[in-house]
Amino acid sequence: MRTLIKHALAATAPREGVTVKGWVRTRRDAKGFSFLEINDGSCLASLQAIVDSAVTGAEHLHDLTTGASVSVTGNLVASPAAGQKWELRATQVELIGKADTSFPLQKKGHTLEFLRTIAHLRPRSNLFGAVFRTRSRLAHAVHQFFQARDFVYVHTPIVTASDCEGAGEMFRVTTLKGNIDEKPEADFFGRRAYLTVSGQLEAETFACALSNVYTFGPTFRAENSNTARHAAEFWMIEPEMAFCDLAGDMDLAEAFVKAMARHTLEHCAEDLGLFEKFVDKGVRPRLEFVVERPFQRVPYAEAVAILQKSGKTFEFPVEPGANLQSGHERYLTEEHFKSPVTVFDYPRTIKPFYMRLNDDGQTVTAMDVLVPGIGEVIGGSQREERLDQLLENMKFQQLKPEDYWWYVDLRRYGSVPHAGFGLGFERLLMFLTGVGNIRDVIPFARTPGSADF
Ligand code: 4AD
Ligand code: MG
C-alpha 367 to ligand 2 mean position (Å) = 9
Q: Which amino acid is at 325?
A: Q
User: What is the CA angle 325-329-333, rounded to 5?
Assistant: 170
Q: Residue 83 above 90 pLDDT?
A: no
Give the whole-angstrom CA distance, residue 50 versus residue 29: 10
234 in contact with ligand 1, CB cutoff 6 A: yes
Ligand nearest to the Cα of 382, by number: 1
Instruction: Say which ligand is closest to the CA of 225.
Output: 1
Measured in Å, residue 379 CA sits from the centre of ligand 2 at 4
Q: What is the pLDDT of residue 143?
A: 98
Nearest atom within ligand 1 for CA of residue 369: 17
pLDDT tens digits for range 404-445: 999 999 999 999 999 999 999 999 999 999 999 999 999 999
Q: Residue 163 CA: which ligand is closest?
A: 1
Q: Which residue has the higher pLDDT, 106 or 145?
A: 145
Q: Is the CB of 200 under 6 A from ligand 1?
A: yes
**Predicted confidence band at 227 (pLDDT cuts at 50, 70, 90)?**
very high
Report the pLDDT value the prediction gives residue 106, as an integer from 0 to 100: 86
Helix (H, G, I), strand (E, B) or coil at 269: helix
Considering the chain, what percentage of its residues have pLDDT values greater than 90? 96
C-alpha dist (Å) from residue 268 to 18, 293, 342, 435: 26, 21, 26, 15
C-alpha to C-alpha distance for 346 and 362, rounded to whole angstroms: 9
* 3-state secondary structure (DSSP) of residue 113: helix
Q: Please name the residue ranges forming H helices in 279-386.
A: 283-292, 300-309, 326-330
Task: From 151, 198, 384, give the residue whose CB has the most ligand 1 atoms within 8 Å, as the site to mutate.
Answer: 198
CA of 163 to the centre of ligand 1 (A): 13
Instruction: Please name the residue whose Cα sits nearest to atom 9 of ligand 1.
Output: 422
Question: What confidence score (pLDDT) does residue 70 get?
Answer: 98
Model pLDDT for residues 362-411, shown as the tens digit of each residue: 999 999 999 999 999 999 999 999 999 999 999 999 999 999 999 999 99
Atom of ligand 1 nearest to the CA of 203: 12
Q: Is 421 in the pocket of ligand 1 (CB under 6 A)?
A: yes
pLDDT beyond 80 at 76: yes
Kindly report, residue by residue over 261-285, the tens digit of the pLDDT. 999 999 999 999 999 999 999 999 9
pLDDT of residue 255: 98
Q: Rounded distance, CA 163 to CA 386, Å?
A: 20
Take atom 7 of ligand 1 and give the residue whose Cα is closest. Answer: 422
Give, to the nearest 10 degrees, the angle between helix 283-292 and helix 425-433: 110
- Give dist(CA 37, CA 46) in Å, integer: 6
Domains of the chain: 5-97 (2.40.50.140), 122-440 (3.30.930.10)
Side chain identity at residue 259, one-letter code: A
The CA 336 to ligand 1 mean position distance, Å, reads 24
Confidence (pLDDT) at 184: 95
Residue with the smallest CA separation from ligand 1 atom 25 is 230
Which residue lies with its CA nearest to atom 26 of ligand 1? 230
Q: What is the mean pLDDT of the chain?
A: 96
**Is the minimum distance from the CB of 245 to ligand 1 under 6 angstroms?**
no
Separation of 368 CA from ligand 2 center, angstroms? Answer: 7
* The pLDDT of residue 397: 93
Q: What is the mean pLDDT of residues 189-203?
A: 97
pLDDT digits (tens, 9 = 90+) for 92-130: 999 999 999 999 998 778 999 999 999 999 999 999 999
Lowest-confidence segment of 165-169, 338-342, 422-426 by average pLDDT: 165-169
